[in-house]
Amino acid sequence: MAESFKTEIFELDGKNISITTSATESLPLVLINTFAGEADSLWKECAALHCPHFTLACISGMDWNADLSPWEIPPLRKNEPPFSGKADSYLAFIVEQALPVILQKLSPPPYIALAGYSLAGLFALYAPYRTKIFSKIAAASPSVWYPKFIDFAKNSSFTNKPECIYLSLGDKESKTKNQRLASVQNNIIQLAEVYQSKNITTCFELNSGNHFTETDLRMAKAIKWILEK
């Protein structure tokens, strides 16, 4: 990646979108849903890892627990918001509204990848079952503790099978008294096996630390891997 880059920021339907690129020619587009304001730090981590040239589009400002969750489940803890399962409608916003605007500002990319961390990582894994737009998937510390997601992945068909899928997890993420969260490491290992059984090039990387350790670095490593495949 070149040191010089430009970023364009705009708002669409109440969401904040940034597009960062280092070139004007056609480059792979990596779309990532973020909590807020991670674009610059993530771009710098990707540059430090010498990622291949790409364009990064970040969307933030969504209702995290609602828009990124595939179906309704109760909250993890008391006094927290529930997961209201609006991923399909949010995915429609991305496909029908956000991506057309983003692509108008770029040379046509050779492919579009979807990336995400935590619940956005789960959303990235869910999306290929509902749309054929994304050809590569990067999910760092995805919320695969999510009830019934492993069964969904085993029994559902992709609209367009991804070329490759990257998965990662912190080695302390399953060490919790919360029974749902404690299932995450066993689940992600099962999920990697599911993808491999479908002949998808799959990487599973176990990182040091808990869910909040070096999040930008973990996401950058995920992006680098899919770009190099």
> CATH code at 78?
3.40.50.1820
Q: Which domain holds residue 172?
A: 6-228
- Flag whether 150 is in a domain: yes
Q: What is the mean pLDDT of each run of 10 residues along the chain (229 residues)?
A: 81 97 90 92 96 97 97 92 96 98 96 98 98 98 97 96 98 93 97 98 97 96 97
- Flag whether 56 is in a domain: yes
- Flag whether 1 is in a domain: no
| Per-residue model confidence (pLDDT) at position 1 | 65
| Per-residue model confidence (pLDDT) at position 137 | 98
| Per-residue model confidence (pLDDT) at position 37 | 78
- Flag whether 185 is in a domain: yes
- Cα separation of 117 and 96, whole Å? 23
Does the pTM of the predicted model rise above 0.95? Answer: yes
- Flag whether 200 is in a domain: yes
- Flag whether 143 is in a domain: yes
Sheet holding 15-21, edge to edge: 6-12, 15-21, 55-60, 29-33, 112-117, 136-140, 164-170, 201-207
- Flag whether 14 is in a domain: yes
| Per-residue model confidence (pLDDT) at position 209 | 96
Phi, psi of 119 (to 5 degrees): -65, -30
The structure tokens listed for 148 are 């019934």
Domain count within the chain: 1
- Flag whether 94 is in a domain: yes
Q: How many residues can be counted in the chain?
A: 229
The structure tokens listed for 189 are 């290992």
Burial of 6 (0-12, 13-18, 19+ CB in 10 A): exposed
